[in-house]
Amino acid sequence: MTEAALVQPRNRAILLMITAILCFTLMDASAKALSLRIGIVPTVWARYTGQMLLVLVLVAPRLRTVVHTRHPWLQFLRSVLLMSATALFFTGISLIPLTDAAALMAVNPVLITLGAALFLGESLGPRRIAGIAFALIGAMIIIRPGSDVFSIAALLPLGAAACYSAYSLLTRRLGPKEDVWTSLFYTGLVGTVLLTLAVPAFWRMPDAAGWGLIGLITLFGTFGQLALIRAFSLGEASMLAPYSYTGLVFAAAWGALFFAELPDFWTICGALVIAGAGLYVWHRETYRR
């Protein structure tokens, strides 16, 4: 295969990755606004139920084909991981500024690099280990354990990052083995079923604005997932990971625009350390290739 033939899928994967991150940050901003109105569990339930209904409408003509999967347990596991990441992150952004949560969540590209080495057979040398260590240092700068600004809520985005990294690696593992719509279908199905069992105990009826936010979460979440799955089907996890840092810019913009949240000095410093660590790891991988 020629170099030009290789570049085209790579560029498409990068564009899809950035599109996915844009959709996810808009979904997060919508979820933060909605959670203040109806609570966390109904917000997470709305995110998955809305996605499930939209996917059913889109795949109805070929539903029998879409529901067929050769890897049911992997689909179930990746769906649970994503649902856990969503619940942890939505809870986090309801308690701390959106930019802080996004900066902490930004450790996930480095965690993906670590996971790719441990589970996908990619090498793990001292430079990658150093990148992972510095990313965690950046997270500690933002959290500042022992200081007056530290809160348990700040740990929630880190838990979300770990779950999301595992989900991304499983998505990459499935790759072209599964239809994109099949993966999207099971992501919505598992989350919807599990959350429907829990939501009655927490339900609060949304107002008109709340229903509008539910619609936005559905659209952004569904198309973000579709773009992400397609991106990981076309490109390597380690190649795409750095583009997750565009989420820091998007989150800062939405936080300032919609919630009047401006990142403080230490959040900016920690975010730069995390992004720098991830970009260093990416540079070393590119250089070695």
The DSSP-derived string for 129-167 is: HHHHHHHHHHHHHHH-TTSTT--GGGGHHHHHHHHHHHH
248 vs 100: CA distance, rounded Å: 9
Q: Is residue 222 pLDDT above 80, yes or no? A: yes
- Percentage of the chain exceeding pLDDT 70: 89
**Contact assessment for residue 215 and residue 49, using Cβ atoms and an 8 Å cutoff:** no
Element (H, E) at 176: none
Q: Is residue 285 pLDDT above 60, yes or no? A: no
Number of domains in the chain: 1
116 vs 124: CA distance, rounded Å: 9
Q: What is the pLDDT of residues 78-108, one digit of tens each?
A: 999 999 999 999 999 998 888 888 888 888 7
Q: In the structure, what pLDDT confidence band is assigned to residue 127 with cuts at 50, 70 and 90? A: confident
Q: Is residue 270 pLDDT above 60, yes or no? A: yes
Q: What does the pLDDT read at residue 147? A: 58
**Contact assessment for residue 221 and residue 52, using Cβ atoms and an 8 Å cutoff:** no
**pTM of the entire predicted model:** 0.80
Write the CA distances from 61 to 42, 222, 244, integer angstroms: 30, 18, 34
Q: What does the pLDDT read at residue 7? A: 57
Provide the domain limits for residue 73: 3-288
**Contact assessment for residue 204 and residue 39, using Cβ atoms and an 8 Å cutoff:** yes
Q: Is residue 20 pLDDT above 90, yes or no? A: yes
**Contact assessment for residue 134 and residue 276, using Cβ atoms and an 8 Å cutoff:** yes
**Contact assessment for residue 135 and residue 275, using Cβ atoms and an 8 Å cutoff:** no
Which amino acid, one-letter code, is at 81?
L
Which amino acid, one-letter code, is at 110?
V
237 vs 122: CA distance, rounded Å: 11
- Output the average pLDDT for the chain: 83
Helix and strand counts by DSSP (H, E) for the chain:
13, 0
Nearest to 236 by CA among 112, 137, 131, 125: 112
Q: Is residue 4 pLDDT above 60, yes or no? A: no
Q: What does the pLDDT read at residue 16? A: 92
Angle between helices 208-234 and 180-198 (to 10 degrees): 140
